[in-house]
Amino acid sequence: MREPKTFTFNGAKYRITWCSSISGFTDRPEEDSAEPLGMSIAAPAMTFDAFHTIMHEGLEACGIQGLHKKDGTPADRDAARFLWRCWQLGRRRRKKAGK
């Protein structure tokens, strides 16, 4: 499956740029914007850090604020770890079942 080039979050269309280092940036939606907003995601390989960046930027695009703690660390990292572990567990179970 290919990475999406555009995606609509909460009614706002984003143009997604895939980069080579781990980090991300998402434009804040403005009312009555006809042009797609920008989202940059650096995910060279599907690692946990890349997964977390993708999830974090997607949540910000949905308008969820306050994703950083006072010290600047992402507050959503625990949720990303939980989802990552569940996804990895599901992959292992499917491989074991031969699917």
Alpha-carbon distance of 76 to 5, in angstroms, equals 24
The pTM for the full model equals 0.68
State the helix-helix crossing angle for 77-97 and 48-61, rounded to 10 degrees. 120
Of 1, 4, 2, the C-alpha closest to 57 is 4
84: in domain = yes
| Confidence check: pLDDT of 22 > 60 | no
Segments forming the whole domain that contains residue 23: 6-97
1: in domain = no
| Confidence check: pLDDT of 99 > 80 | no
Name the domain count of the chain: 1
The burial class, CB within 10 Å (0-12 / 13-18 / 19+), for 52 is buried
Count the alpha carbons within 13 Å of 10 in the hemisphere toward its beta carbon.
13
| Confidence check: pLDDT of 71 > 60 | yes
Q: Find where tokens 């996804």 sit.
A: 87
